[in-house]
């Protein structure tokens, strides 16, 4: 059948083995580190997990990302990204690791001003979170090549200054529980990425800023904030 137009090619991320990882969807868990939940004004002990989504096309492999329009407070959130290699519904936490292809450093870039307004008005977060080029990731390391990812440092520097410093061990909902939870609502598929939440210390960026996300055992993610999106 003749197509009305040619579709945009899906994003293919790169693994540390130099292979392509076709990206499908992006799920993001919110408030998964107690200290960050507190800095956003929430009591972490009483909050069940929750998540939101981004289009797969928001994923970019590091490099320069544009400042999006309609925000005066675009913020970084350094996160461990889990790449799903095998799909499933109602995944048992005990089996969840078998669904993981690998791990990467990631940034869940956020229009914080629009998120605050959405929270206040009880509106969806889409325009705050599901933003073009808002999900940069580093190389995806196959789980077989990565160390134990239930613990280890996660840090972010902005222009060489340390801004975020946490430990994966401090996740309120560990990766296996996050996978189990999301799979209750959606059939996870190979190619899905899960952003697992950010430690405290989030903050705003300006054009020209250099961000680096570092997680023990993974390749660093280096991003430069470019000019406003055209």
How many Å separate Cα 208 from the centre of its chain? 22
Q: Exposed (0-12), middle (13-18) or buried (19+): which is 94, by Cβ within 10 Å?
A: exposed
Q: Which of 41, 194, 195 is nearest to 116 (CA)?
A: 41
CB of 22 to Mn ion, least distance (A): 23
Sequence-ordered alpha helix ranges (H) in the chain: 34-39, 112-121, 126-129, 175-185
Distance CA(8)–CA(164), nearest Å, equals 35
Which residues in 69-88 contact Mn ion (CB under 5 A)?
A: 77
Q: Exposed (0-12), middle (13-18) or buried (19+): which is 19, by Cβ within 10 Å?
A: exposed
Number of H helices, E strands in the chain: 4, 18
* Among the residue ranges 16-24, 37-45, 103-111, 155-163, the one whose residues contact Mn ion (CB under 5 A): 103-111
Site string for Mn ion, 32-71 (x = CB under 5 A): ----------------------------------------
* Among the residue ranges 4-12, 36-44, 59-67, 106-114, the one whose residues contact Mn ion (CB under 5 A): 106-114
CB of 206 to Mn ion, least distance (A): 20
Site string for Mn ion, 171-200 (x = CB under 5 A): ---------------------------x--
Q: What share of the chain is helix, strand, coil (3-state, %, to 5)?
A: 20, 35, 40
Distance CA(144)–CA(65), nearest Å, equals 30
Which residues in 200-219 contact Mn ion (CB under 5 A)?
A: none
Of the residues 34, 76, 107, 108, which one makes contact with Mn ion according to CB under 5 A:
108
Of 37 and 88, the one with the shorter C-beta distance to Mn ion is 37
Cα distances (Å, whole numbers) of residue 55 to 20, 50, 62, 122, 127: 18, 17, 17, 22, 12
**Which residue's CB atom is positioned nearest to Mn ion?**
108
Of 88 and 192, the one with the shorter C-beta distance to Mn ion is 192
* Among the residue ranges 42-50, 54-62, 105-113, 214-222, the one whose residues contact Mn ion (CB under 5 A): 105-113
CB of 202 to Mn ion, least distance (A): 8
Of 88 and 172, the one with the shorter C-beta distance to Mn ion is 172
What is the β-pairing status of strands 59-60 and 135-136? parallel
Which residues in 110-139 contact Mn ion (CB under 5 A)?
A: none
Of 77 and 192, the one with the shorter C-beta distance to Mn ion is 77
Residues near Mn ion (CB under 5 A) are: 77, 108, 198
């Amino acid at each position: 059948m003749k197509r009305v137009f040619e579709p945009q090619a899906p994003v293919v991320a790169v693994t540390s083995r130099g292979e392509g990882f076709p990206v499908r969807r992006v799920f993001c868990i919110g408030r998964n580190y107690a200290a960050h939940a507190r800095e956003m004004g929430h009591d972490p002990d009483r909050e069940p997990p929750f998540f939101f989504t981004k289009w797969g096309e928001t994923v970019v492999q590091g490099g320069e990302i544009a400042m999006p329009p309609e925000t005066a407070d675009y913020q970084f959130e350094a996160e461990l990204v889990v790449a799903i290699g095998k799909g499933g519904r109602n995944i048992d936490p005990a089996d969840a690791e078998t669904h993981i292809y690998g791990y990467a450093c990631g940034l869940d870039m956020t229009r914080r001003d629009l998120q605050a307004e959405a929270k206040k008005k009880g509106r969806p977060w889409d325009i705050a979170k599901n933003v073009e080029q808002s999900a940069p990731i580093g190389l995806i390391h196959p789980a077989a090549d990565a160390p134990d990812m239930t613990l280890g440092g996660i840090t972010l520097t902005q222009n060489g200054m340390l801004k975020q410093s946490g430990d994966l061990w401090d996740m309120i909902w560990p990766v296996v529980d996050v996978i189990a939870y999301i799979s209750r609502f959606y059939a996870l598929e190979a190619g899905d990425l899960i952003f697992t939440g950010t430690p405290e210390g989030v903050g705003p960026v300006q054009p020209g800023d250099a961000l680096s996300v570092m997680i023990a055992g993974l390749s660093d993610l280096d991003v430069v904030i470019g000019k406003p999106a055209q």
